[in-house]
Amino acid sequence: MKNKVISTLTAAALIASVVPVAVANAATADVKVNSVSALDSSTVKVSYTKKGKKYSTNVKTTKVIKHGATIVQFKLQGQSYSSKLKTPFVNKNYISALNHLEQADLAIVNGKKEDANQALSHANVFFSRLKTTEVSEAQYHALNQRIAQLQNALTALETPLTPSAQDPTVSGQKYELPALSYAFNALEPHIDALTMEIHHDRHHATYVTNLNHALEKYPQFFGQPIEQLISNLNAIPEDIRTAVRNNGGGHANHSMFWKIMAPNAGGNPTGAVAIAINRDFGSFQKFKDEFSAVASGRFGSGWAWLVVNKEGKLEVTSTANQDNPIMDGLKPILCIDVWEHAYYLNYQNKRASYIDAFFNVVNWDEVNRLLNEE
Ligand SMILES: [Fe+2]
């Protein structure tokens, strides 16, 4: 929860009530602080309005006073402010996640797999409740990494040491999280590094883990290309079909999405896809308008796509959840993830701004490769 503080007071009133400061000058008189949230003891996130426009920025605290309540002081636009925080800096979900990670670590060292598993799932629950605004970016990142490290350590503990010890009925390799071919921050400023990291390392990784888990009962499905697996869902036993549809779809969609984007990309389409877009939409702008409208209009979570339809023409479509056009016999060549997890940190609820930004990172070479692929 945000520590919303003194939301209706003007800068002058705040200063007058708490910090003895000289007269506010013309540049700061029209600044209105709307809320102050604690990130950690040295940084606060301040939302403010200036000349009718809203801003949000992280500022260093100049002083932290604790007696009963926590009071932070900071400077904004050359003026000093003081705010009382409703809750202290230490976040309960953060501390609980850390405590459970410690227990998991100890259990792994002692070879107690079940205890480690339980502690890790508790840590994951508290981590999922933790909002990125409640701790510093560094703390969030470190916690995320620690969970991944311990999960790997636990997996290693559970994996037989030699291939001969593996289940002989497994006909192929389990599905794996593909590595990104660029750094998390490579798509900035259009897609921010933290979104990329959480999206790839946690969301996509979870789809892969859950897909493998579902297929453990029917290991004959391991080893198929993921597109093949999800294109024929009727072949999947009914008791795991929904899990394969959601998690297999999630794995296929995200694997494609990471390649559809690239640093130093975007701009106008090139090659065969440029010709096909002009042929089937009239112009790139008309295609972009239609694609953006469909992506914006997808209710709830889902994806927007550019596909080759059964007549060989390009068409814009969208799917709910983690469904993929392959499931309907179409050939997807471009996609955008419009789940909130894909844009919320940077764009909050402004999906349209995220869609606009996405066009600055579209990797038209990959779109052409998919178009030309048999
Ligand atoms: Fe996603």
Q: How far is the CA of 372 from the centre of ligand 1 (A)?
A: 26
Q: How far is the CA of 324 from the centre of ligand 1 (A)?
A: 13
Q: Which of 66, 85, 104 is the last residue of a domain?
A: 85
Q: How far is the CA of 250 from the centre of ligand 1 (A)?
A: 7
269, 284 in Cβ contact below 8 A? yes
Q: How far is the CA of 151 from the centre of ligand 1 (A)?
A: 21
> Is residue 246 over pLDDT 90?
yes
Q: What is the pLDDT, as a whole number, of residue 160? A: 47
364 and 253 within one domain = yes
Q: Which tokens sit at 287? A: 């295609």
> Is residue 255 over pLDDT 80?
yes
143, 201 in Cβ contact below 8 A? no
Q: What is the pLDDT, as a whole number, of residue 303? A: 98
Number of domains in the chain: 2
More confident position, 234 or 3:
234
DSSP 201: I
H helix runs in the chain, sequence order: 11-17, 26-29, 92-109, 113-129, 137-158, 193-198, 205-215, 226-231, 238-243, 249-260, 271-281, 284-297, 344-347, 351-358, 364-372
Q: Which of 85, 104, 119 is the last residue of a domain?
A: 85
52 and 184 within one domain = no
Q: What is the pLDDT, as a whole number, of residue 245? A: 97
Q: How far is the CA of 278 from the centre of ligand 1 (A)?
A: 29
Q: What is the pLDDT, as a whole number, of residue 121? A: 82
Q: What is the CATH number of the domain that holds 301?
A: 3.55.40.20
Q: What is the pLDDT, as a whole number, of residue 1? A: 39
Identify the band that residue 302 occupies on the pLDDT scale cut at 50, 70 and 90.
very high
Of the segments 64-68, 82-86, 173-177, which one has the largest average pLDDT value?
173-177
Identify the band that residue 72 occupies on the pLDDT scale cut at 50, 70 and 90.
confident
Q: How far is the CA of 85 from the centre of ligand 1 (A)?
A: 34
pLDDT tens digits, residue range 119-154?
Answer: 888 888 788 778 776 777 767 777 777 787 677 677
| Residue 267 placed within a domain | yes
| Residue 151 placed within a domain | no
| Residue 333 placed within a domain | yes
Q: How far is the CA of 203 from the centre of ligand 1 (A)?
A: 6
> Is residue 23 over pLDDT 60?
no
| Residue 163 placed within a domain | no
Q: How far is the CA of 146 from the centre of ligand 1 (A)?
A: 22
Closest CA to 71 of 123, 21, 18: 18
Q: How far is the CA of 224 from the centre of ligand 1 (A)?
A: 22
Catalogue the long-range contacts made by 100-109 (C-beta closer than 8 Å, 24 or more residues apart). Answer: 100/126, 101/143, 101/146, 101/147, 101/150, 104/150, 104/154, 105/150, 108/150, 108/153, 108/154, 108/157
Q: How far is the CA of 302 from the centre of ligand 1 (A)?
A: 9
Q: How far is the CA of 301 from the centre of ligand 1 (A)?
A: 9
> Is residue 249 over pLDDT 50?
yes
Q: What share of the chain is helix, strand, coil (3-state, %, to 5)?
A: 50, 20, 30
| Residue 228 placed within a domain | yes
Q: What is the pLDDT, as a whole number, of residue 7? A: 33
44, 37 in Cβ contact below 8 A? yes
Q: How far is the CA of 225 from the centre of ligand 1 (A)?
A: 20
Q: What is the pLDDT, as a whole number, of residue 109? A: 63
| Residue 76 placed within a domain | yes
Q: What is the pLDDT, as a whole number, of residue 34? A: 83
Percent of the chain with pLDDT over 90: 53
In this prediction, residues 25-34 reach a mean pLDDT of: 68
Largest CA-CA distance found in the chain, in angstroms, rounded: 79
Q: How far is the CA of 201 from the centre of ligand 1 (A)?
A: 11
187 and 80 within one domain = no
In this prediction, residues 302-326 reach a mean pLDDT of: 97
Query: For residue 72, which phi and psi values (nearest 5 degrees)?
Result: -115, 145
Q: What is the pLDDT, as a whole number, of residue 88? A: 57
Q: What is the pLDDT, as a whole number, of residue 164? A: 34
Question: Which residues have their alpha-adjacent CB atom under 5 A from ion ligand 1?
Answer: 337, 339, 342
Q: What is the pLDDT, as a whole number, of residue 3? A: 40
Q: How far is the CA of 182 from the centre of ligand 1 (A)?
A: 17
> What does pTM read for this prediction?
0.58
More confident position, 214 or 102:
214
Q: How far is the CA of 273 from the centre of ligand 1 (A)?
A: 25
Show the 3-state SS of 343-363.
Answer: CHHHHCCCHHHHHHHHCCCEC
Q: Which of 32, 52, 85 is the last residue of a domain?
A: 85
Q: How far is the CA of 249 from the centre of ligand 1 (A)?
A: 11
Q: How far is the CA of 147 from the centre of ligand 1 (A)?
A: 20
> Is residue 42 over pLDDT 70?
yes
Q: What is the pLDDT, as a whole number, of residue 330? A: 97
Q: What is the pLDDT, as a whole number, of residue 305? A: 98
Q: What is the pLDDT, as a whole number, of residue 355? A: 98
| Residue 366 placed within a domain | yes
Per DSSP bridges, beta strands 302-308 and 331-337 are antiparallel
372 and 235 within one domain = yes
More confident position, 166 or 350:
350
More confident position, 271 or 89:
271
| Residue 142 placed within a domain | no
Other Cβ atoms within 10 Å of 169 Cβ, number: 9
Residue 348, sorted as left (phi over 0), alpha (psi -120 to 50) or beta, turns out to be left
217 and 72 within one domain = no
More confident position, 303 or 24:
303
Q: What is the pLDDT, as a whole number, of residue 208? A: 96
| Chain position carrying tokens 């000289």 | 22
**Amino acid present at 333:** I
186 and 43 within one domain = no
Does the CA dihedral 114-119-122-124 come out positive or negative? Answer: negative
Domain that includes residue 306, residue range: 178-191+212-374
